[in-house]
Amino acid sequence: MYIGEQLINPTDKRLRLSAQLGARGIVIDSRPNAPVMAGDDVEAGLWDGRKVADQRRWVESHGLTLDCLALDVGSILLDSLRAPEKAAATAERLRHNIRAAADGGVDTVKYTVAMVGITRTGVVDGRGGMKCSTFRADEYKAENDARFSYWGTVLPEDETGTKPSPVAARGAPETCGQVMASEAGGVSEADGWRAIEYLVEAILPTAEKAGVKLACHPHDPAYPPGGLNGVHHVLGSLEGLRRFVSLAPESKSLGFNFCQGTIAEMSRTPTETVLEAIREFGPQNRIFMVHFRNIKGGYLDFREAMPDEGSVDMAACIRAYREVGYKGILCPDHVPFSEVDPDRERFFAFALGYTQALLQAA
């Protein structure tokens, strides 16, 4: 195992910082990833394998590895239920980009199955007045969803209505393939599985042929029974994760962007649930990358936290990853935000150092 960072539109300076902090790997979370686009038509969303190779070599020039690229699935999940022709066109783009990633020497792409963003209901104060994104199911309101949820790669607002820096250009739900739960028109459990199965069937054969691993980020957060506004999060439980891998039980390409915080959010005993998930999916080689993050609280009532102050025993998790033979990247994610660290570089540096220390202690 080794530490790394997930970055949006990194610069040379930012990659140098990652290397100086001891990171070994980089996950590029840019959506769209303009430097790898074929031609000048970024809106077409097609990658060029030669440009992927150029981006990989650029990352490698800083002494780092390019571990993974973000595959922008857009609105394919909702479209598969309501606009099949649009979904089919997106599926063809995704297959093209998976082949381009392989041509460029990148063997892992990640994607999210979020149809309605990453739902949050507010911001609360954490240690020293840092601002922590929170989800409390009993405080859910459409207006809170609009203000405080994550859309695409954009951070939620703070209590003043200001989005922390940096803010990606594609921020509104309608531009990142997501809509508010109150506007989704309802997504039943059957619909949720139908959409996920459509996506897997559309891209998995191409990934297997190309030797590319598909790292799926589960639903964040787990929703209450009956969903929110009729929208169900079917990958919001360990049972959902088990059903997901059963879609292709022999595949080496179907697995997880194993977001430790998201899995902690599935349970009122978060450490036990995270450890159970590691010990179940690790030996199956279904963990392709890890978001090594913590939360304070648990199912239906939590806030995001720095890695050392949350409810999950992070040292126990490191030991469990070692036990199951996981050898991949550990990325900090969803650290809180603060006006004294507007780009969160110091917060991410703290998380990297904390994780490195846990690795050395283990």
Give the model confidence (pLDDT) of 290-314 as tens digits. 999 999 999 999 999 999 999 999 9
**pLDDT for the residue 166:** 45
C-alpha 97: how far from its chain's center?
A: 18
- Within a domain: residue 131? no
Query: Could you tell me the two tokens for 67?
Result: 């571990």
Lowest mean pLDDT among 34-43, 119-128, 186-195: 34-43
Query: Could you tell me the two tokens for 95?
Result: 């297959």
- Within a domain: residue 165? no
Q: Which of 87, 93, 97 is nearest to 194 (CA)?
A: 87
At 317-355, the pLDDT tens digits run 999 999 999 999 999 999 999 999 999 999 999 999 999
Is 90 exceeded by the pLDDT of residue 179?
no
Number of C-beta neighbours around residue 157 at 10 A: 19
Beta strands in the chain (DSSP E): 2-7, 25-28, 65-70, 108-112, 122-125, 131-136, 213-217, 254-259, 287-291, 294-298, 301-305, 329-331
Q: 286: buried, middle or exposed (CB in 10 Å: 19+, 13-18, 0-12)?
A: buried
- Within a domain: residue 269? yes
Q: What is the pTM of this model?
A: 0.95
Q: Domain containing 262: what range?
A: 2-112+186-361
Query: What total of structural domains would you count in the chain?
Result: 1
- Within a domain: residue 138? no
pLDDT top residue among 154 and 284: 284
- Within a domain: residue 55? yes
- Within a domain: residue 146? no
Lowest mean pLDDT among 179-193, 222-236, 300-314: 179-193
What mean pLDDT is reported for the chain? 94
- Within a domain: residue 294? yes
Tell me, what CATH number does 278's domain have?
A: 3.20.20.150
pLDDT top residue among 175 and 264: 264
C-alpha 53: how far from its chain's center?
A: 23
Question: Is the backbone of residue 22 left (phi > 0), alpha (psi -120 to 50) or beta?
Answer: left
**pLDDT for the residue 175:** 56
pLDDT (mean) for 84-92: 97
pLDDT (mean) for 119-125: 96
- Within a domain: residue 169? no
